[in-house]
Amino acid sequence: MQLSNEVKDQLQRYHLSELYNSYDYFGAHPFTHNGEQGILFLVWAPNAIRVALVGTFNYWNDESDPMERVTDTGVWGTFFPGIQAGEVYKYKLFLPDTRAIYKADPYAFYSEVRPETSSVVFDLDTYDWHDDKWLEKRQTFTPYKQPVNIYELHLGSWKMKEVGKFENEAFKSVDPSSFYNYREIADELIPYLKEMHYNYIEVLPLSEHPFDGSWGYQVTGYYSMTSRYGNPSDLMYLIDACHNAGIGVIFDWVPGHFCRDEHGLMYFDGTELYGDIDHPQWGTKKFNFYKSEVRNFLISNACFLFEKFHIDGIRVDGVTSILHLNFGLDHNPYKNEFGGGEDLWGIQFLKELNLAIFDRYPFAIMAAEESSSWPMVTHPVDKGGLGFNYKWKMGWMNDTLDYVELDPLFRKGSHDKITFSMHYGYSENFILPFSHDEVVHGKKALIDKPVGNYEDKFKTLKLLMLYQITHPGKKLNFMGNEIGQFIEWRYYEPVEWFLLDYEKHEDQRQFNSLLNRLYMQEKSLYEQDHNPAGFKWVDADNRDQSIYIYERKATDECLTIVLNFTPVEYSEFRVGVEIPGEYRIMFTTKEAPYRIKRYQYIKTEAVSMHGQDQSILIPLGAFEGVVIKKKKAVRKKK
């Protein structure tokens, strides 16, 4: 089989430089050869002495369709005439030590439903997209001055058809018949997102993975979106429908490590082709980023998700593990060429990744899940940064949850857990996450973290949600948080939607819907998220009452937020304001309707408070948060 010189040149780039569309060459592609239509298969396996294509089309006979070396760098290829989408295949690799191993295609676009492990031929270009207006609009989109309100979800357990139906009871492997198809999920999910006023979803990893309990974080098929919920066209339908409803789609992505399953990347051609360092606590292998082929494989995968699935952003999982050679190890056996523990090639990979994505997709959200104090994560590469445009604010999340877990009587001793976040608030561009990681493994559901009785937990959850929405930074909440679900997330059970039959939980859902709408409509809450001019402490030091007061500012508007983290009520509480006039409480966490429509204006008094000459008196309830806005001056007609 002869490949064109152009294709050979591109394959040479895969080994020597940059080939960020390697998915156009490797894998299984429709092809015409000598007038015959069929599928061209290409795979990189430099250590193999022989490779055979086996599948349903040749009865898994490893003698009938040997592959040829098409480059001197270990690329093997073959053309099989007459086959189409739906054919099942693998590669059989014969190794120098006389072993023969079966491997799934690293570039497979579709896979069998687990526990089966073969790759499936699929043509990704057959779906008819209808999101042209969205794609055109997002070309000029920059998230910094826009509201970004993300609903994080695990597609398999957002809703289920049959709860508790397992394929494997011991490992809680869910029977595939319990899952909704991507298209069915779209029809259920999108109206809910609209009602709740989220404008993004972030989906836990959809790259093919063999074990439900990994949640998608241990990948075997990077280019194969999981077949648990349907085929790639079904997923495209979901994303298409989101875009037509004005909802962006962010994929959770795992480029730091891969799992050890035999059919995957582990010892792909009998050697450590893709990985080397062990992650013992995850049971995975870290990618060896010093190989240009590995960097091309991963960066191409990110580009592939934007190009073929029209996604709007990526949350890069486990960035800390990419940056450090000895991440998760009890000792430090690995050193870089200068004697340090930083993974210099991992750092280079992240920079290359972000440069490639923003060059092609300038609208993208590229968010780093980076849990250390690594500097300049969201600074440009040419300024010494890693090049992301967002970082999860893990310190804010940990401090905030530590604070609300304290008995209210003792919160004054940890007052700075709330104020500290603004000391580094503009060092990076932040997303504020209450994510899936915080509601599993005994950490308790979000509503169950605060100390107190049943009533107090709901009050504190509302206060916590208001604090997140009014704090500088974009927002992320995991499914179930918005309805006050008490049970931790379980990947094998759906969100407890039946709780909405109970008044408190339905009230919590309605509260979050109204709060999200407030966020989407009040530009003071997002326009200057990353500008120090957008935030001002009014009172950061009232530790005895555990009350915090701050302002959020747009260029021409301002909101004052008051948060009371104790059960003490105040019939009158004085708040200092800059400008004399009339103010109103426009939102409260105390009781429905929350978003107050009938305005009762409060006139300022010439009483000094909080360093201001003017102040107002407001009522402030137990565990209550309020949003205050100045009455706009009415322009008189000439």
> CATH code at 77?
2.60.40.10
The verdict on residue 142 lying in a domain is no
The verdict on residue 113 lying in a domain is yes
Confidence grade of residue 414 (pLDDT, cut at 50, 70, 90)? very high
Closest to 626 in 3D by CA, of 576, 539, 567, 562 = 562
* pLDDT for 393 beyond 70: yes
Token pair, residue 494, equals 């759906």
Closest to 589 in 3D by CA, of 459, 501, 486 = 459
Residue entry with tokens 């500012």: 553
Q: In this predicted model, what pLDDT tens digit does every residue of 165-221 receive, in sequence order?
A: 988 888 899 999 999 999 999 999 999 999 999 999 999 999 999 999 999 999 999
* pLDDT for 596 beyond 90: no
Q: In this predicted model, what pLDDT tens digit does every residue of 542-587 receive, in sequence order?
A: 999 999 999 999 999 999 999 999 999 999 999 999 999 999 999 9
User: Counting beta carbons within 10 angstroms of the beta carbon of residue 96, is it exposed (0 to 12), middle (13 to 18) or buried (19 or more)?
Assistant: exposed
Q: Which residues contact 5 (CB under 8 A, 6 or more apart)?
A: none
Label the pairing between strands 68-69 and 221-225: unpaired
Last residue of a domain, one of 79, 99, 124: 124
Confidence grade of residue 2 (pLDDT, cut at 50, 70, 90)? confident
The verdict on residue 324 lying in a domain is no
Residue pair 365/149 in contact by the 8 Å Cβ criterion = no
Interhelix angle 454-470/503-521, rounded to 10 degrees, is 10
Mean pLDDT taken over the chain: 95
- Which run of H or of E encompasses 50? strand 50-55
* pLDDT for 636 beyond 80: no
The pLDDT, as a whole number, for residue 1 is 65
The verdict on residue 457 lying in a domain is no
Task: Count CB atoms within 10 A of the CB of residue 563.
Answer: 21
Sign of the CA dihedral running 12, 15, 17, 22? positive
The pLDDT, as a whole number, for residue 364 is 98
Last residue of a domain, one of 124, 144, 165: 124
Q: In this predicted model, what pLDDT tens digit does every residue of 90-146 receive, in sequence order?
A: 999 999 999 999 999 999 999 999 999 999 999 999 999 999 999 999 999 989 999
Label the pairing between strands 535-539 and 547-553: antiparallel
Residue pair 562/628 in contact by the 8 Å Cβ criterion = yes
- Active-site entry in 317, 343, 527, 624: 317
Confidence grade of residue 328 (pLDDT, cut at 50, 70, 90)? confident
The verdict on residue 615 lying in a domain is yes
The verdict on residue 537 lying in a domain is yes
Distance CA 68, CA 14 (A): 18
The pLDDT, as a whole number, for residue 442 is 95
* pLDDT for 474 beyond 80: yes
Query: Is 72 assigned a catalytic role?
Result: no
The pLDDT, as a whole number, for residue 599 is 66
The pLDDT, as a whole number, for residue 388 is 98
Q: In this predicted model, what pLDDT tens digit does every residue of 215-266 receive, in sequence order?
A: 999 999 999 999 999 999 999 999 999 999 999 999 999 999 999 999 999 9
Distance CA 21, CA 307 (A): 10
Query: Is 503 assigned a catalytic role?
Result: no
* pLDDT for 597 beyond 80: no
The pLDDT, as a whole number, for residue 23 is 98
Name all contacts of 600-605 with Cβ < 8 Å and 24+ positions apart. 601/631, 604/577, 604/579, 604/580
Number of domains within the chain: 2
What CATH number is given to the structural domain containing 559? 2.60.40.1180
Confidence grade of residue 598 (pLDDT, cut at 50, 70, 90)? low
The pLDDT, as a whole number, for residue 600 is 83
Last residue of a domain, one of 103, 124, 145: 124
The residue range of the domain holding 60 is 5-124
* pLDDT for 519 beyond 70: yes
Q: In this predicted model, what pLDDT tens digit does every residue of 57-105 receive, in sequence order?
A: 999 999 989 999 999 899 999 999 999 899 999 999 999 999 999 999 9
Mean pLDDT of 18-25: 96
Label the pairing between strands 474-478 and 535-539: unpaired
- Active-site entry in 369, 437, 482, 527: 369
The verdict on residue 68 lying in a domain is yes
The verdict on residue 132 lying in a domain is no
Mean pLDDT of 352-356: 98
